[in-house]
């Protein structure tokens, strides 16, 4: 039985099918590093090919000789990780169209396409009459032709990686394999790569020479704080654990992540010491064998090619379902002998990213202010914004509310502060005037340029933006405590301000009016002073006394 692999990457489909005994006679990939990695591991000599320019007659094998067509068109434009899900869907569909065009030309016995879950809905919509893929609707009109989302962890992959599988093959048989596939965890990989003698944590064969397992330095306190906040207090997306649990499948290994990325998988190696995964650990989580080699001239390139791949163990079970292997005859996947172990030509050793890097002058920052985090799209945050025309960075506190589908922003400025002050009759809340004055005094003493000097590693003795966030959070905590101790009539007054005041408030904002009012006060104070405008309570207090 023979197959072709479209958008083949580093070989996730190819390896899975080879382990099942299927010959992959042709693979097509445009990215040089991924294609070279594919060739080195399988001993092939495929040249880079832009599949969008593929000539069906000239570039493809004889259709009569091909039984299966598989592949993974690029998912970048479809991923919610790309600009919050605002990628160029039309551009992404070009690759899906080309994949289906090849399937329609080859007319294989079975075919399968893998992509991110979002593509399931896009496919279902676009194959309808009038859709951009309606020409291929006939490819989805039989009992075997299905569009379905799966979790790779259900097939022995030590990773919770949800993927859409569309195609024509025995899906029910593929589904049944879940009954006999083992469950694996992140711990199986991390600790499995420490065993002596070393055995592959997924496939079980002994490893002679373990490469790409250089650990990164532990996260700095700053990196730890940002990672933890972005995972456990993210205002829009679901909360994640920090550190990641070793006793369940890992989260999805992504192609792009940094040391302060929400997507990074962070583990605790010893108490209060946290690090990211090594290249080898990521590869094993994706179920590439421990002796699979990754060829790239950059550390980020290796991470990208692994994160973009489809897990070979998942494709192994798809291949078996295409071979119509009964569950009773299903064998455990074994990779030994399926790849070329050329230890004379190992990839270049590239040290991982570590703390202490020098960043560009425009390095971005955002962090939600403690005690002012409500989740579900509601947050007060300190953020910077670089104006590259004049090469200057500006800082401000932003207030966002709504939800992930409709985020709204209220400008926090001097006008808002004055209106809020008048509406609150704030002197009725004992002790609040003193805290507001302290907040004003603190912000007035800040040298705003120091924040970027610190954040870009140019001068760590300067004020850290994280320390500013925490100090603003401390002022917020004190104000909230004072509000809780004030008469209930004042609390009702706060709710009426939010309900009928400065913006279109929803039930959640009204119920948390003390938090919202506190954030509006602190944010408008910070932005007014940082903008260079004068702000003092004294004339306001005098006018109230009159």
Catalytic residues: 75
Per DSSP bridges, beta strands 2-6 and 68-71 are parallel
Beta-carbon contacts of residue 323 (< 8 Å; ≥ 6 apart): 1, 20, 21, 22
- Angle of helix 465-485 relative to helix 448-455, nearest 10 degrees? 120
Query: Do 440 and 529 meet the contact criterion of CB atoms below 8 Å apart?
Result: yes
Residues 12 and 314: their CA atoms lie apart, in Å, by 9
Residues 7 and 131: their CA atoms lie apart, in Å, by 23
Residues 266 and 210: their CA atoms lie apart, in Å, by 22
Residues 152 and 147: their CA atoms lie apart, in Å, by 16
Which pair of structure tokens corresponds to residue 378?
Answer: 């509601």
Residues 312 and 335: their CA atoms lie apart, in Å, by 10
Which pair of structure tokens corresponds to residue 21?
Answer: 């005994």
Terminal C-alpha separation, the chain: 92
Q: Is 67 helix (H, G, I), strand (E, B) or coil?
A: coil
Q: Give the angle subtended at the CA of 82 by the CAs of 147 and 293, to the nearest 5°.
A: 80
C-alpha distance from residue 375 to each of 112, 230, 233, 235, 402 (Å): 39, 11, 7, 4, 10
């Amino acid at each position: 039985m023979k197959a072709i692999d479209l958008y083949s990457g580093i070989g996730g489909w190819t390896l899975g099918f080879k382990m099942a005994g299927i010959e992959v006679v042709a693979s097509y990939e445009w990215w040089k590093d991924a294609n070279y990695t594919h060739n080195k591991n399988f001993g092939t000599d495929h040249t880079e090919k832009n599949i969008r320019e593929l000539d069906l007659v000239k570039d493809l094998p004889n259709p009569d000789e091909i039984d299966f067509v598989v592949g993974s068109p690029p998912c970048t434009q479809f991923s919610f990780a790309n600009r919050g899900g605002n990628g160029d869907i039309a551009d992404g569909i070009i690759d899906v169209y080309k994949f289906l065009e090849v399937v329609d030309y080859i007319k294989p016995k079975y075919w399968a396409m893998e992509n991110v879950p979002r593509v399931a809905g896009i496919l279902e919509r676009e194959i309808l009459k009038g859709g951009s893929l309606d020409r291929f609707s006939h490819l989805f009109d039989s009992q075997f032709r299905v569009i379905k989302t799966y979790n790779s962890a259900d097939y022995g992959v030590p990773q919770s990686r949800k993927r859409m599988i569309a195609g024509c093959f025995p899906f029910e048989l593929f589904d049944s394999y879940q009954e006999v596939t083992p469950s694996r965890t992140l711990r199986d990989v991390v600790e499995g790569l420490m065993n002596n003698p070393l055995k592959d944590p997924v496939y079980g064969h002994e490893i002679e020479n373990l490469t790409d397992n250089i650990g990164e330095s532990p996260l700095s306190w700053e990196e730890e704080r940002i990672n933890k906040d972005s995972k456990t207090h993210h205002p829009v997306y679901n909360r994640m654990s920090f550190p990641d649990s070793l006793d369940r499948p890992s989260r999805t290994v992504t192609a792009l992540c940094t040391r302060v990325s929400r997507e990074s998988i962070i583990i605790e190696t010893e108490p209060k010491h946290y690090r990211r995964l090594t290249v080898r650990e990521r590869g094993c989580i994706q179920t590439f064998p421990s002796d699979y080699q990754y060829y790239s001239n950059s550390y980020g390139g290796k991470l990208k090619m692994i994160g973009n791949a489809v897990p070979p163990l998942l494709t192994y079970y798809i291949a078996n379902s295409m071979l119509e292997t009964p569950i009773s005859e299903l064998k455990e996947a074994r990779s030994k002998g399926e790849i070329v172990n050329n230890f004379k030509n190992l990839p270049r050793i590239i040290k991982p990213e570590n703390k202490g890097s020098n960043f560009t002058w425009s390095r971005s920052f955002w962090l939600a202010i403690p005690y002012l985090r409500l989740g579900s799209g509601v947050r007060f945050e300190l953020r910077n914004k670089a104006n590259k025309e004049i090469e200057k960075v500006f800082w401000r506190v932003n207030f966002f509310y709504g939800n992930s589908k409709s985020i709204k922003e209220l400008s926090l400025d001097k006008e808002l502060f004055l209106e809020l002050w008048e509406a609150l009759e704030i002197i009725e809340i004992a002790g609040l005037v003193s805290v507001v004055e302290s907040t004003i005094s603190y912000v007035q003493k800040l040298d705003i340029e120091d924040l970027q000097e610190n954040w870009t590693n140019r001068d760590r003795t300067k004020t850290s933006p994280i320390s500013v966030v925490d100090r603003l959070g401390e002022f917020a905590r004190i104000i909230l405590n004072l509000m809780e101790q004030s008469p209930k009539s004042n609390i009702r007054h706060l709710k009426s301000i939010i309900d009928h005041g400065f913006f279109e408030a929803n039930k959640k904002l009204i119920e948390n009016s003390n938090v919202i009012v506190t954030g509006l006060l602190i944010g408008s104070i910070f932005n007014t002073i940082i903008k260079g405008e004068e702000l003092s309570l004294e004339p306001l207090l005098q006018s109230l006394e009159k």
